[in-house]
Amino acid sequence: MRGGGRVHGKVPRDYSFNLPIKVLRYGLRSTLSAKLIEKSVIVVDKLYPDERQMDSAAQMNSVPIKTKDALSFLKKHNWQDDSVMFVDDTENEYLMAAVNNLAGDKRVVNQENLNVYDLLKVNRLVISKSAVEALKGRLQSETGNYLSRREGKFQTEITSDQIALWEENAKAMREKAQTN
């Protein structure tokens, strides 16, 4: 180097760090539980179109889930002005295309990409039963069903009671929407 250099010059450093995996899982569990307590979770049977819709859409060369279908679902639950996240167990490009055209903060995520930041950013959560099962398996296999050394018993984090409560809340919200 012409002119020399500094002997102990400034070195760019990366001060970022990764959270422990257990902390990330705990955050996801607690955020999902908080959404459940707030009654801002709806569990639906599926977020994917049935075969009849797929066949008719293939014949017409169009997308089987339309934006108006997504909007009517949100209006039925009076969530059209809220920020909503749709969670499915796989990538759902049809739902993504329909939801991207809606106004406001609406997003579609598969259960593998679900994180605490996105959950805290949205007000409402629509999740399919298959995504609930996948999340349950993901959170239990990575954390729970482990043998506690102190207590000598198995511990699970998401129970079937919680899933039943989610489904009851979804049923109550559907009945409330039908009465309105």
Q: How many CB atoms lie within 10 A of CB 78?
A: 12
Residue 57 banded pLDDT, cuts 50, 70, 90: low
Q: What sign has the CA pseudo-torsion 135, 141, 143, 146?
A: positive
pLDDT of 147 over the 50 cut: no
What is the average pLDDT score of the chain? Answer: 77
Q: Which residue has the tokens 């450093």?
A: 13
Q: What is the pLDDT of residue 121?
A: 92
Mean of the pLDDT values across residues 160-180?
A: 77
Per DSSP, 111 falls in state G
Between CA 127 and CA 76, with CA 91 as vertex, the angle to 5 degrees is 35
Provide the pLDDT confidence category of residue 49 given band limits of 50, 70 and 90: low
